[in-house]
Amino acid sequence: MKNLVLKITIIISLLLLSSCYSYRIFPKEFRKTKTNLDTKPKAFVINKELEREYKILQESNIYDIVEDSINQLKVKLYPFEQIRKVDGQPIIITFLTLGQVPVNFYDAYSFKFDEIIKNETIENKFELQIAQRVWLWDIFKFNKDFEGKAGKALRGSYLNTIEN
């Protein structure tokens, strides 16, 4: 009977740990980057069928996205790609300590889009660094919105390239 209770406890613990994650963006400066609302250009997105990419672009707040295709600035999105993925070995530490030791998985993603103004195309390609943290206490956090964090990382990368 004790064996059964132990097995059930372990299974429930592992299930709880699988929901204990949150996302963080790097570098840390990008987490608090704000966009000046007065200078946001209006843009029309050509291919909204790339739903995940479109949501990330919306979350980035780089452009004031409009439905008018006559607008001067058009944005063409490309598929979102994961360019670096960390293996899952560090998760063993979290399981052995029952979630008391946080583990970060630092992944990198490629976000590419073109800005088309009249007949001129400007290619933009950014590496977004988004870490998934697994920790027992993240079960109480609500920053599990990957697209929102990717949008913040995109905004920080975009504004960083404009300033430099």
The 10s digit of each residue's pLDDT in 16-41 is 555 677 888 887 676 666 666 567 88
- Banded model confidence at residue 109, pLDDT cuts 50, 70, 90: very high
Q: Please determine, for residue 140, whether its predicted confidence score (pLDDT) is greater than 90.
A: no
Cα–Cα distance for residue pair 65/141, rounded to 1 Å: 30
pLDDT tens digits along 40-69: 888 999 999 999 999 999 999 888 899 887
User: What pLDDT is attached to residue 15?
Assistant: 60
Q: What percent of the chain stands above pLDDT 70?
A: 85
Average pLDDT, whole number, for the chain? 82
Residue 33 φ then ψ, to 5°: -70, 130
Cα–Cα distance for residue pair 92/22, rounded to 1 Å: 18
State whether CATH 1.10.1420 applies to domain 2-163: no
Q: Where are the domains of the chain?
A: 2-163
* CB within 8 Å of 83: residues ≥ 6 apart: 108, 109, 110, 127
In this structure, what token pair is assigned to residue 112?
Answer: 């590419």
Q: Please determine, for residue 111, whether its predicted confidence score (pLDDT) is greater than 80.
A: yes
